[in-house]
Amino acid sequence: MNLIGNIIWLIFGGFLTFIEYMIGGLLLCLTIIGIPFGLQCFKIGFLTLMPFGRQVRDVPGPTGCLSTLFNIIWIFCGGIWIAVTHLGFGILLTLTIIGIPFARQHFKLMSLSFTPFGKEIY
């Protein structure tokens, strides 16, 4: 079932979203300061490539104050708008029964794109 969901996801916008995150990550990696943020774009991008069957969880152990600081910078420099976009698509997709599994994936992406530092995908 995950394979079918991922194929449908890729056809209806998942691949374009993946490309957008990859371009954003590459642009952020052009500067030394942007490298940690670019790596987070890559992490989100690879999740948007095949979100079905994958989960997002907090990294166990102490992540330190640097992760919190980077999350705050991420939120104010665009993370909130990315999360709101995924929230909007998720709400729209819940209006149909067929769209509910895809809405769940957008809600998963929303939680990761709001605060990506200190989280891992498995």
What pLDDT digit, counting tens, does each position of 9-65 carry?
999 988 999 999 999 999 999 999 999 999 999 999 999 999 999 999 988 767 678
Burial of 32 (0-12, 13-18, 19+ CB in 10 A): exposed
Q: For residues 121 and 54, is the Cβ–Cβ distance under 8 A?
A: yes
Per the DSSP assignment, residues forming a β-bridge with 58 are: 119
**pTM confidence score:** 0.89
Q: For residues 44 and 78, is the Cβ–Cβ distance under 8 A?
A: no
- Name the amino acid, one letter, at 40: Q
Counted domains in the chain = 1
Range(s) of the domain holding residue 70: 2-121
